[in-house]
């Protein structure tokens, strides 16, 4: 039994490495898009922030979709890019046929709840989506209990555990509500995908 487990573990790690290589074009394209938008917004002197999410304002509704692409400064986009790269890769590995549905679910649900309930101000950044990816991967440790889900979820927990702390009010100017609703959306997405898989299997 131990030998089977070890063989499955080695096979899963090899699959993660191979599939990460396959995902590189997508991952680098996403990061390239975020940095390109940041640079454009920089030269436009922040005019794209008009597309940010402003809670309970009609002008803030487009931000439900566009706010994850906008970042306040270089540090903001740079430090979001690292967990985004890793966690999006893991989501694509674990759910190659559903990563786009997962992303849309997290983006729309977290954005809508942030628009409804968050504090005043303009909310921007991919942190809510990142927290959603993290919640999706961690929840699947329990929901799937496969070698792959345990490896990806455990790495997410170990290296990005600080993401969970982002759901609590901490630093002024940080959208903890977006993080909280992102986590909720990620768990919902995991539940939704698991139902779809069970139904069609």
Which three-class secondary structure state does DSSP give residue 123? strand
pLDDT at 139: 93
Tokens matching residue 130: 């990142």
Residues 90 and 137 sit within 8 Å (Cβ to Cβ): yes
CB atoms within 10 A of CB 174: 15
Q: Which of 129, 64, 145, 125 is nearest to 91 (CA)?
A: 129
pLDDT at 180: 96
Task: Give how far Cα 183 sits from Cα of 59, 122, 178, Å.
Answer: 25, 20, 9
Tokens matching residue 138: 């961690």
Place of tokens 């609590």: 168
Instruction: Give the span between the Cα atoms of 18 and 70, in whole angstroms.
Output: 31
Please list the pLDDT of the chain residue by residue as tens digits (201 residues): 566 666 777 788 889 999 999 999 999 999 999 999 999 999 999 999 999 999 999 999 999 999 999 999 999 999 999 999 999 999 999 988 899 999 999 999 999 999 999 999 999 999 999 999 999 999 999 888 788 899 999 999 999 999 988 998 877 778 899 999 999 999 999 998 888 777 776
Q: Which of 158, 83, 161 is nearest to 127 (CA)?
A: 83
pLDDT at 113: 97
pLDDT at 52: 97
Instruction: Give the span between the Cα atoms of 115 and 53, in whole angstroms.
Output: 7
Q: Which domains does the chain have, with CATH numbers?
A: 2-200 (1.20.1540.10)
pLDDT at 11: 81
Handedness of CA 9, 93, 89, 49 (dihedral sign): negative
Q: What is the value of pTM for the model shown?
A: 0.94
Tokens matching residue 23: 């995902």
Residues 106 and 128 sit within 8 Å (Cβ to Cβ): yes
């Amino acid at each position: 039994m131990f030998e089977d487990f070890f063989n499955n573990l080695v096979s899963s790690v090899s699959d993660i490495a191979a599939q990460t290589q396959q995902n590189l074009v997508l991952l680098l394209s996403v990061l390239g898009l975020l940095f390109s938008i940041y640079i454009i917004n920089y030269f436009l002197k922040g005019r794209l922030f008009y597309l940010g999410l402003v809670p309970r304002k009609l002008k803030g509704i487009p931000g439900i979709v566009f706010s994850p692409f906008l970042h306040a400064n270089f540090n903001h986009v740079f430090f979001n890019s690292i967990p985004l790269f890793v966690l999006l890769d893991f989501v694509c590995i674990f759910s190659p046929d559903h990563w786009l549905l997962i992303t849309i679910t997290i983006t729309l649900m977290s954005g809508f709840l942030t628009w409804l309930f968050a504090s005043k101000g303009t909310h921007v950044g991919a942190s809510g989506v990142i927290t959603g990816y993290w919640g999706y991967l961690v929840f699947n440790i329990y929901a799937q209990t496969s070698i792959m889900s345990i490896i990806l979820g455990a790495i997410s927990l170990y290296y990005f555990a600080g993401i969970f702390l982002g759901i609590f009010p901490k630093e002024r100017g940080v959208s903890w509500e977006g993080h909280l609703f992102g986590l909720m959306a990620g768990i919902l997405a995991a539940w939704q995908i698991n139902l779809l898989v069970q139904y069609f299997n």
